[in-house]
Amino acid sequence: MESAFVILFSIASLVAIAARRVHVPYTVALVVVGLVVGALHVIEPPHLTKDLLFALFLPGLVFEAAYNLHVSELRANWRTISTLAAPGVMAAVALTAAIMLGGFHLFGVAPEITRSYALVFAALVAATDPIAVVSMFRQLGVPPRLTTMIEAESLFNDGTSIVVLSLVLAYVTGDSSSVAVLVLRFLAVICGGAVVGTLLGFGIARLTKRIDDPMIEITLTTVAAYGSFVAADRLQLSGVIATVSAGLVLGTYGREVAMSPTTRVSVDVFWEYVAFALNSIVFLLIGFEVRPSGLIASTLPILIAFVSVVLSRAGIVFGVLALFRSTSERFSSRWATLLTWGGLRGALSMVLALALPADFPHRALLVDMTFGVVLISLLLQGLTMPALVRPLASVGAGPGE
C-alpha cells in the first residue's frame, strides 16, 4: 500500500508537469493516465471506496474550497446558489430520470430500468464536481462571481445530493412512502449539518484567537475539516454541509479575526497543497476504477444517460436564469451556458454507485452507466471548456447581458 501511494504521487507529479506544458486540464489528464496505467496493471492501487472518499478525500477537498470562497460573492448570490444546490438538485433528479426513460423507450434499450431505478441513477449523478473547471476559470481570469457560483453550488450540492440519494433509496426500497416525510428528513439533515459545522467552526476560531502558533492553528483547521464531518455523520446529519459551514466560518471570521498574517499565509499554503495532493490521487483513482469492457457493453444506455444529464442540467440552470432575471442576482445566458457545461460529474458519483448494496437490483448496469457518464463528462466537457470560456466569460461582460 505504501509503495502504491509513492507511485501515485510520482505519476501525479509527472502529469502535472506535462499538463502545464500541453495546456490540458490537470484533473482530466490524471483520469486519462489512470485509465492507461490501470489497463496496463502496472500497480495495484487502493480502491476508491465510500469509506476512503468520506474518511480522507471529501472532507479535505470540501473544507479547502469553502475556506477559500469569495464570501462577498457568495453573500451576493446566495439565492441563486441555494436554489441550484437544493431544490435544483431535486428537480434535476426528477428531470434526468424522465428524459432518460424517454430515451430508453425510444431506442428500445435497458427495459429493466423502471422509473424507480431511473431515479436512483439520477440521484447518483446529481452532484457536480467542477474542480477542473474552477482551476481553469482562475487561470483564465474569469470574473470571481461566476467562479464562486459554480464552486459554491458544487460544494453545497455534494451534501444535498448524498441526502437526496439516501431518500430516493428509502423510497425505492419501501422504507418510506410519504413525500412529506422525505422532505422533512431532507431539511433536518441539511440544516442540522449546517448547525454542527457552524458551531465547531466558531469554537475553533475562538480557540485559535488565543494561540499564536501557525503549526497548532493549522492542526486546528484540520480538526475543523475532518471533525465537523465526523461529528455530523455520527449524528446522522450531512457531513459535507457541516464541513462546508466550518470552512466558511474559519475562512471569514477565523482568518480575519483570529489569525495573524503569518498564520494566514501558513494555513493558505497548507490547504492549497492538501487540495492538490487529494485531487491528484482521487482523479487518478477514478481512472483506475473504470473498466472499459463494462462501458462498451452499455454504450447506448450510457450515451442516453449522459445526454439526459446535460439536458436536465440545462433545464435547471436556464430555469434559475429566468427566475432571477429581474433581480440583482441576474446573470447572462452566456454564463448559464458555462454553468450548464461546467457541471461535470466526478468521484462522488462513482463512489456512491459502488456503495450500492451488492444485491441491489440492476446494480451492475447502474454502476456502468454512472462510470460512463462520469468518464464522458470529465473528458468531453473538461477538454472543451477552454474553447467555451474564452468567448462566453469575457471579463468585461455585465452579469445581466
pLDDT tens per residue across span 304-348: 999 999 999 999 999 999 999 999 999 999 999 999 999 999 889
Residue 287 lies in a domain: yes
Percent of the chain at pLDDT exceeding 90: 64
pLDDT for residue 393: 66
First to last CA, the chain: 53
Contact 279, 61 (CB under 8 A): yes
pLDDT tens per residue across span 175-216: 766 777 888 889 999 999 999 999 999 999 999 999 999 999
pLDDT for residue 173: 82
pLDDT for residue 395: 47
pLDDT for residue 349: 93
Backbone phi, psi, residue 264, to 5°: -55, -45
pLDDT for residue 135: 73
Report, in angstroms and rounded to the nearest whole number, the Rg of the chain calculated over CA atoms.
20
Longest Cα–Cα distance in the chain: 66
Task: List the one residue out of 184, 193, 185 whose CA is nearest residue 239.
Answer: 193
pLDDT for residue 1: 61
- Cell, residue 320: 434559475
pLDDT level of residue 394 (50, 70, 90 thresholds): low
Average pLDDT, the chain: 90
Lowest mean pLDDT, pick from 53-67, 108-122, 140-154, 268-282: 140-154
- Residue 401 pLDDT more than 70? no
Residue 153 lies in a domain: yes
pLDDT level of residue 72 (50, 70, 90 thresholds): confident
- Residue 235 pLDDT more than 80? yes
In this structure, what is the dihedral angle of CA atoms 33, 39, 40, 46, given to the nearest 10 degrees? 80
**Number of folded domains that form the chain:** 1
pLDDT for residue 149: 92
Residue 397 lies in a domain: no
Q: What is the CATH number of the domain that holds 357?
A: 1.20.1530.20
pLDDT for residue 400: 44
pLDDT for residue 221: 97
pLDDT for residue 177: 60
Residue 280 lies in a domain: yes
- Cell, residue 9: 504521487
Residue 399 lies in a domain: no
Domain of residue 319, residue span: 2-391
Q: Is 110 left (phi over 0), alpha (psi -120 to 50) or beta?
A: left
Contact 249, 202 (CB under 8 A): yes
- Residue 388 pLDDT more than 90? no
- Residue 24 pLDDT more than 90? no
Percent of the chain at pLDDT exceeding 70: 96
Query: Is this prediction's pTM over 0.85?
Result: yes
Residue 398 lies in a domain: no
Specify the amino acid at residue 386.
Answer: P
Residue 396 lies in a domain: no
Task: List the one residue out of 126, 104, 107, 124 whose CA is nearest residue 115.
Answer: 104
Residue 22 lies in a domain: yes
